[in-house]
Amino acid sequence: MGEDLTLFLQYAFNGIAMGAVYAMIAAGITLVYGLSRIIHFAVGELVMFGAFVALMVWEGTGSFSLAIATAIPVLAFIGLITERVVFRFTLREPLTGFIVSLGLILVFQGTAVEIWTANPKYSQPPLQGAWELFDITVRKQSVLNLAIAAVVLAVCYYVLRKTTAGKSVRAVSDDPEASALMGIPVKKVIMATFIVGSALAGIAGCIIMTIGFITPYIGAVYLLRGFAVALIGGLGNIQGAALAGIGLGIAESLAAGYVGPGWTDAYVFGTAVLILLWRPTGLAGGAEGARI
């Protein structure tokens, strides 16, 4: 196999592994937006919290499964608390909810610095080693991460499409008033999306912890990628988010590989802005009227 092709496939694989994480964050964003119309900007900080919680448990116990099993309920709990204490009062004014989430960014970031300090933290990935497949280095951890993301997204998709609970969620997203008349507990469903959305960010954090350094300030990076994916995929569209997530991951990895890592963000976000100017409701045909 040609060296160029190998390199390309290597970048593409790295991109897919990363893109699956973005898709997960975007799925959470889309779920929360689809039902509450709130742009939840503190989602990057939820990812960061998930990463720190997972890191603590992983370093303390040496069990990555336990780390994930801890991060999910902790983040779900944060989702529950934020919804009960603040977001539920903002459902009539989504802009207020958005500004609330900006305040939460400051709170979460500051709290993380108080607990874990601002110093970058790094841990060895739980799964060491790699396979060589056609000259491509496939790190075992990347495969595990990809598998986790794929399972999580598949479960989300299955629940939304095939279960009664999922049908209520879609009904509320389509028409909250009619859903209420049909006896669907709209407020509980919205609360549940905050819980699930936060938990998704938490799982994404667990994966990010295995990839590189984490600091209390990494939130903005994942916030923007999550939203870029959610918007390009079409707000409210989970399949779109999955595709756009992989797309962004690959684009980013190729840009970093061929252009150089420094300018990746400018390149990727610049492209995202242009795509959104061209097709404001996203490539996958999502719409303001959300479809989940």
Partner 1 sequence: MSSGSRSRLRRAAPYGGVLLLGLIAFLLPQVSPTSFVLSLATTALIYAIAAAGLGFLWGQSGQLSLAHAAVFGIGAYTAAVCAKQLGLSFAASLPISAGVGLVAGALVALPSLRTSGHYFVILTFAVSEVISVVEMRWESLTGGVNGVTTLPGAQTLFGLRLAGRADYYSIVVIFAVVVFLVLCLLMRSRWGILLRSMRENPDLSTSLGINVPINRVIVFALSGAIAALAGQLYLYHVKSIAPEAFMSNLSIVFLLVVLLGGKSYLLGPAAGAIIYVFLPEYIGLSPVRSQIAFGVILVVMILTAPDGVLSLIGRLRERLRGPRTEAGA
134 binds partner 1 (CB under 8 A): no
CA–CA dist 76, 151 (Å, integer): 18
For residues 72 and 241, which CB has a smaller minimum distance to partner 1 in the complex?
241
CA–CA dist 120, 111 (Å, integer): 15
124 binds partner 1 (CB under 8 A): no
CA–CA dist 196, 157 (Å, integer): 13
Q: Which of residues 6-35 bind partner 1 (CB under 8 A)?
A: 33
CA–CA dist 53, 44 (Å, integer): 14
Q: Which of residues 44-83 bind partner 1 (CB under 8 A)?
A: none
171 binds partner 1 (CB under 8 A): no
Distances (CA, A) of 65 to 1, 128, 200: 37, 15, 16
Structure tokens at 146: 């990809």
231 binds partner 1 (CB under 8 A): yes
Q: How far is the CB of 233 from partner 1 (least distance, A)?
A: 13
123 binds partner 1 (CB under 8 A): no
Choose, by CB under 8 A, the member of 131, 134, 258, 263 that binds partner 1. 263
262 binds partner 1 (CB under 8 A): yes
From 98, 82, 5, select the one nearest 46 (Cα to Cα): 82
For residues 1 and 277, which CB has a smaller minimum distance to partner 1 in the complex?
277
Q: How far is the CB of 9 from partner 1 (least distance, A)?
A: 27
283 binds partner 1 (CB under 8 A): no
Distances (CA, A) of 173 to 86, 110, 119, 124, 176: 21, 33, 41, 41, 6
CB of 209 closer than 8 Å to CB of 32: no
Q: How far is the CB of 18 from partner 1 (least distance, A)?
A: 17
Contacts of 76 (CB under 8 A, 6+ apart): 195, 196, 198, 199, 202
What's the sign of the alpha-carbon dihedral 41, 44, 45, 50?
positive
270 binds partner 1 (CB under 8 A): yes
Segment near partner 1 (CB under 8 A), from 46-54, 91-99, 154-162, 249-257?
A: 91-99
Q: How far is the CB of 230 from partner 1 (least distance, A)?
A: 9
Total of residues contacting partner 1 (CB under 8 A): 41
275 binds partner 1 (CB under 8 A): no
* Residue 153 φ/ψ, nearest 5 degrees: -65, -40
Choose, by CB under 8 A, the member of 81, 86, 159, 251 that binds partner 1. 86
Largest Cα–Cα distance of the chain, in whole Å?
A: 62
Question: Which residues make up the interface to partner 1 (CB under 8 A)?
Answer: 33, 39, 41, 86, 89-90, 94-96, 98-100, 102-111, 113-114, 220, 224, 227-228, 231, 235, 262-263, 265-266, 269-270, 272-273, 276-277, 280
